Structure 1
Amino acid sequence: MNLKLNWFLLLGFLSVFLGSGEVQLTPILINCGANASTSVDGRKWIGDTLHGNNFTISFPGIVVSTLATNVDSVYGDLYTTARVFNATSTYNFSTLSGTFYIRLHFFPFPSEIFDVNNSSFDVRTNNLKLVSKFNVAEEISWKNMRSNSNFSSLMKEYYLDTGLDNLWIEFSPGYGSLAFINVIEVIPVLYKFSHSISRLGNNYLALSSHGIETMYRLNMGGPDLETINDYNLRTKWESDDKYMFSVNTASKVSNKSTVSYTSSNDSANAPLEIYETARVSSDSQVLEKRSNMSWSFNVDPNFDYLVRLHFCEVQYDMANQRIFGIFINNKTAAQSYDVFKHAKGMNKAYHEDFMNSLPQNFDMLWLQLGPDPSSSPAGSDAILNGLEVFKLSRNGYLANVPSRVGNGFPGKKKKVMSFWMIILVCSASLFVFSLVCAVIICLYIRKKRRIEINPNSNSPVWRPFLLGALSSTTNARASKAALNFNELLSNNRMGRMFSLADIKAATNNFDESLVIGVGGFGKVFKGEIEGMLVAIKRAHPQSQQGLKEFETEIEMLSKLRHQHLVAMIGYCDEQNEMILVYEYMAKGTLRSHLLAVTILHSLGSSG
């Protein structure tokens, strides 16, 4: 009897152990270049110069260090050392096989021994190429530029299954260049992803044969969460503020009362703090919620991406109160989505996975949550608590050589120009500069003379009108009110300001073949901006009737939104233009549909 009881206890323990999906094995945390162990964020980090570690380094390279690091990260104390390689070197973990999270930390601090800006290298692990021609300083600079951040370090996170093979990580510097690494984390996990998942509008994709890279991990409606808040995988979650297309389309909500996981498996995917805050599509200044919540992300082209959405209904205590659609890169991922129904209750946390493939030369991933055309107006808002974006390997590659690292790639040898070559280049540059200045002066004088010849010309010139501040179109042409137009549009929640270059690129320089409408105001062009289809309305500067129509239209749409009204995205007022950008309605205008119904009714009556 006691034997049977012991077996039942053992089976129960194993079911909990395996079902939780949490980290169950001891991670290996390496402080590269350090000669002692240290404790950071509650974990013990081993210096890779110590003997007796459960890993080896095939080529030691050299160790560099700095006295202090000015980095806003819990890992700042670990970034004071690095290991640098001028030849291929491999970290071998001879006793490890299975499924792992691998995190590589890079902090390019200045050193007299090597130039961090000259780092160019590849990283492989178990025949999977992680990065190629990788320049850390360039990557950090590009990331800061695109996300309006000020990062000084970089962490790359990967998920892979080695099967029965032992784990190894290889660093290979480019010709005449160097590779370096500050910190390595190897975290064994039981599982993190399903065995297969369906692509949007396509067949299933098996995940077991793919390596996975974490691209983004966001806390919707909440603050940044440092790794200390995640007791399982020690992940970091960013606030979603800087990734939203328009923060005016959503508000933040929170509920920290009784949030719990729908399944024990979900505890390995995100900490409970992620589900205690959310973004909800709402706008108190409009009569009805209409706009989508939208987020955009820079990604690598020609890869498959797994988009993991974290949900928890923190406001409604019954079903059918919040129904919305989920769209990824203009594809419908889910319709009539009800978080309460999926979770089977309020304050129940879970996640949903979607897959999307990006074509060649397309490097933007869009996520949108908003009104479902099949739902009622009362159920038109959406909710999202957290988001993760993962890139899947293709043909053994997760690496992508970014075009931003062009012909001036740091890993290539630079030729030293001779003294006379420098003199020749400087002389040619001075001559070209002088010529350009002369042309500009001549054009200026010519334009000034033309103005003096006809100083009283009253030819119509387009000027942006001021909403609510002008009583007529004539005033819109001549007013010099101090009210700033861009600020005014912002106050009216008109969205994003586009440059004229963006508009010309979207319409192929106002190609007449893209015209989808003509009126007293001017023309409407079909275009594409950052992967989204849009309708671009360009006002005609000679038409007073058109200007008045525009003024009325902006005033109305700034105060009213409806599921049957097209949503306004933004505007452009460069170079005396006045251009408005709308959501593109693929099925035509309401007028065309009503006209068709009228004609059919007339034909039916005459018959």
Structure 2
Amino acid sequence: MKVQAMGLLGILRLVIIFGFMEIGKAQRKSFLISCGTNSSVTVDGRRWIGDTVPGNNVTFSASGIEASTGTFSGDPVYEPLYRTARIFTDSLNYTVQGTPGNYFLRLHFYPLVYMNYNANDSVFAVESNRLRLVSEFNVPGEILNKNSNLLRSGGNSSFTSLVKEYFFTIDANIIVIDFIPSKGSFGFVNAIEIIPVDDKLFNDSVRRVGGNGGSSSLNLDTRGVETMYRLNVGGSAVKPSQDLDFWRLWDVDSSYMVNPDAGSETRNRTNITYASPNNTFVAPLPIYETARILSNTEVLERRFNMSWKLEVDPDFDYLVRLHFCELRFDKPNQRIFRIYINNRTAAENFDIFVRAGGMNKAYHEDYFDEISSKSNTLWIQLGPDTTTGSAGTDALLNGLEVFKLSQNGNLAYVQRYSNIEGKKTSKSFLWIGIGAGIASIAILAALVMLIVWFCKRKNKDDDDDDAKKTASGWKPLFLHGSIANRTAKATGSTVYQNPNGTVRSGRRFTLAEIRAATNNFDERLGIGVGGFGKVYKGEIDDGTLAAIKRANPQSHQGLAEFETEIEMLSKLRHRHLVSLIGFCDEQNEMILVYEYMDNGTLRSHLFGSDLPPLSWKQRLEVCIGAARGLHYLHTGSERGIIHRDVKTTNILLDENFVAKMADFGLSKTGPSLEHTHVSTAVKGSFGYLDPEYFRRQQLTEKSDVYSFGVVLFEVVCARAVINPTLPKDQINLAEWAMHWQRQRSLESIIDPRIRGKYSQESLMKFGEIAEKCLADEGKSRPTMGEVLWHLEYVLQLQEAWLHTNADAGENSVSSNPDLGPNDVGECEVQDATN
């Protein structure tokens, strides 16, 4: 009885201890604060209390301004929360009564416009409990310049809001969050979220990358942590409501992969358990139910590593957390691989089954690495370890998180934003490279002469790295022995490989099939003429309409462009890129077969035809589609692809006016990691050509951005980019439009057919985007991702204007009047340095 009583006493003591622990945990409650309002809202199943609601245990030092917006274009789930904000022009702090311990702090920002306060103009800092979180912070700039997956998207996939998440330990009974606007500016915040965190979320001792197995102490008791990335690898996004412990957002990983096709997705949603009780708070089980594995038999050019490229802030320490769960193998030594972080081995002989203790066991590993002041990229790679003798050269990853660690009480990195306010640049634009140092009249005269000369001139030399292919002149493909290898594909298409290693897929048509499809190249079926040759509308044997491009032997484009077009489009698949169906290379012919685009070129809908004009909203949607295609080209592969011939005749429209980029004959693979540009002879089209590229013969993605900026002005003005019949100050569209844009008077030269049918604010922002694209130096231009974000914001402004001006219907523009300046077609530049 005594022993039994002692046992009961021990049990009672444990119950009391755990009871106090639960009471202590209960006291550390969450705080969900809706800013700028005296009412409360329910969002995603949680109640957010207005910051001026009495008895909310929240106080702030200054009232600031309670702002609200009537228009909203973000994630509809967060609409009730993001419609209000607190704006402050002087320092303001929120004080929350809490208890000592660990917390997640999330700050929610939605860049709204309220009265004279525009989020584009706001710059401020934030501190909490002596930890600097951000400095010189601009929300739209952060959205443009960061790839953090904590951005929240709206219905059209444009990122419209931002959540900044931090983890820190407090040793007092209050949490203080200070907002400090920069001099002459203001700041704002929409919502504040404070979540207590279990002590076991982070271990203080973490394996150091490249440290020969050594560990480093994170000292999290004295350091703050910022969440940079949180990715569900191989699966769909996991929403905060699916992560009930800490309400974390887990984004998809594919957009951060160097090559998404390098790994295939796999899933197993049964019998997943945590390898250790300490893991239960680390990630929700849905993260471990999906994964990405290395092997993918459908990849034409198989890569031996799965790679994720993540942009981070330089000169900080980082914690990389990798989540694993073996979903297939039920014994050890079946899947063994290596883990690389920033090209250094983080782990080798990595067997998930052994480390986790079995199959379907959720497990994670943490690694510590330092990023120097000269780098802003974090590489995560998983690849086979062929020295282990495992059953397969495979790898697997379920989830990925990256955390930034504070330095001396600072987590802030001052981001130099890309001229968000659209301020005037001090440099004037010149048609650089033609008669440098000559007076403006001589420059224009020389330009006109060069246009005539290049239009008549036959190119003698192709691009630098294609010269050997075409040294003997224009020849059909079979003379070069190009079709050497043929393998069947499950899709029914065919894969061809040249002796030089070029891999391409698609149907190989016979010349007889092409002649039948085009009625023996009937001129009445002609739908266009380009530098490569004529384009015909045809119907292939299954009744599918196709655009059939037939090379002209007298053209300055030939084998190199033909090969490049097939090679590029064999690798690329995107909604906003024209698809290649196949090709023909018989009897001295070089023919490409594409999907048919019912509405032709963007150029034909702007001027030079009797087609009805596009509305301003339609023009914005077309520009956004083209920008998405170019953004995919620039970021969809490890080195990216530079189009090199962006213009309105290479932007095609399908039956629904969805824009697709076309004509990849001049495209180039981007520079390798150790280079900033590709040195190559100049090719492109006058009027669209990047002057920096023309001058230096150094090609970058920013050359496409410049050309796209010219396209944007062409969309506004609906006139040719080069028209020698106009007064000398109007000949070049880029120079002429920039003159008016710098005076903020772009509406003076807008297409008269849409005058009065657009939001003035949307046109103003549109002009600012185009102006940024045409910056003198490539490094000052935005990326295509930044251009895309701006354009989607412009579209939101136009849609809001249409909603409040219902009588300005999209289809109420007048029919096609006099088209104004004559359509003078641009002339392609082929190796202009010869």
TM-score by length of 1: 0.72
Contact 1:22–1:267 (Cα < 8 Å) also in 2? no
Per the TM alignment, residue 142 of structure 1 is displaced from its structure 2 partner at its CA by 3.0
User: Displacement of 1:251 after TM fit?
Assistant: 0.8
Contact persistence 1:35–1:49 (CA under 8 A): yes
Instruction: Using the TM superposition, give the Cα deviation of residue 70 of structure 1 relative to its aligned residue in structure 2, in angstroms.
Output: 2.3
2:460 and 2:302 mapped to 1: Cα distance? 55
User: For 1:438, which of 445, 460, 466 is the aligned residue?
Assistant: 445
Residue identity over aligned pairs, in percent, reads 39
Contact 1:103 1:156 in 2 (8 A): yes
Q: 1:382 to 1:460 in 2, by over 3 A?
A: same
User: Out of 170, 179, 196, which is 1:188 matched to?
Assistant: 196
Question: Which residue number corresponds to residue 570 of structure 2?
Answer: 488
The residue that corresponds to 2:396 in the other structure is 383
- Looking at structure 1, the residues matched to 404 and 147 of structure 2 have their Cα atoms a distance apart, in angstroms, of 20
1:89 and 1:73 map into 2 onto residues whose CA distance is 29
SS in 2 for 1:11: helix
Map residues 83-482 of structure 1 onto 2, 5 A cutoff: 83-143=86-146, 150-164=158-172, 166-191=174-199, 192-202=201-211, 204-208=216-220, 209-285=222-298, 291-376=304-389, 378-403=391-416, 405=417, 408=419, 436-447=443-454, 451=458, 460=472, 477=559
Native 8 Å contact 2:148 2:229 kept in 1: no
- Displacement of 1:496 in angstroms is 5.7
Seen in structure 2, the aligned counterparts of structure 1 residues 314 and 333 have a Cα distance that, compared at 3 Å, is same
Q: Does the C-alpha gap of structure 1 residues 23 and 198 become closer, same or farther in structure 2, counting only changes over 3 Å?
A: farther
- Alignment match, 2:75: 72
Residues 123, 171 of structure 1: 8 Å contact kept: yes
Distance of aligned partners of 1:165 and 1:361 in 2 relative to their CA distance in 1, 3 Å threshold: farther
CA distance in 2, matches of 1:239, 1:501: 26
SS at match of 2:446: helix
Residue 59 of structure 1, CA deviation? 1.0
Counterparts of 1:478 and 1:309, CA distance in 2: 44
- 1:85-126 per-residue CA deviation (whole Å, 9 max, x = no partner) reads 000011112444321100000001221141211110000011
Residue segments in structure 1 that go unaligned for 5+ positions in a row: 512-528, 531-574, 578-607
CA separation in 2, counterparts of 1:298 and 1:250?
A: 21
SS, match of residue 153 in structure 1: strand
Count of residue correspondences: 501
- State which of 60, 63, 68 in structure 1 corresponds to 2:66: 63
Indicate if the aligned counterparts of 2:335 and 2:394 stay in contact, CA closer than 8 A.
yes
1:73 CA displacement: 5.1
Matching residue of 2:695: none
Letter in structure 1 aligned against 2:373: Q
* Residues 146 and 311, structure 2, Cα contact 8 Å, conserved in 1: no
* CA-CA distance at 1:15 after TM superposition: 6.1
Q: Which residue of 1 aligns with 2:85?
A: 82
The TM-score with structure 2 as length reference comes to 0.54
Change (3 A) 1:327 1:479: closer
Q: Following the alignment from structure 1 to structure 2, what is the Cα–Cα distance between the partners of residues 70 and 296?
A: 29
Structure number with higher relative contact order (C-alpha < 8 Å, ≥ 6 residues apart): 1
CA–CA distance in structure 1, aligned partners of residues 249 and 105 of structure 2: 14
> Contact 1:159 / 1:213 at 8 angstroms: preserved in 2?
yes
Q: CA deviation at 1:332?
A: 0.3
Aligned partner of 1:538 in structure 2 is none
User: In 2, distance between residues paired with 1:479 and 1:58?
Assistant: 66
Q: How has the CA–CA distance of structure 1 residues 377 and 496 changed in structure 2, closer, same or farther, with 3 Å as cutoff?
A: farther
Q: CA RMSD in A?
A: 4.2
Equivalent position SS for 2:409: coil
Q: Distance in 1 between matches of 2:243 and 2:332?
A: 30
Give the gaps of 5 or more residues in structure 2: 433-437, 462-469, 485-495, 501-552, 574-579, 581-635, 643-667, 680-699, 702-828
* Cα distance in structure 1, aligned partners of 2:388 and 2:125: 50
SS of structure 1 residue aligned to 2:158: coil
**SS at structure 2 position matched to 1:256:** coil
Tell me which amino acid in the other structure corresponds to 1:132.
S
**C-alpha distance in 1, partners of 2:637/2:107?**
42
Call closer, same or farther: CA 1:212–1:449 in 2, change over 3 Å: same
- Counterpart of 1:441, as a letter, is V
Contact kept in structure 1, 2:128 and 2:178, CA below 8 Å: yes
User: In the alignment, is the contact (CA less than 8 A) between 1:310 and 1:387 conserved in 2?
Assistant: yes
Query: CA contact under 8 A between 1:297 and 1:364: conserved in structure 2?
Result: yes
Deviation of residue 37 (structure 1)?
Answer: 2.1
- 3-state SS of the aligned residue for 1:361? coil
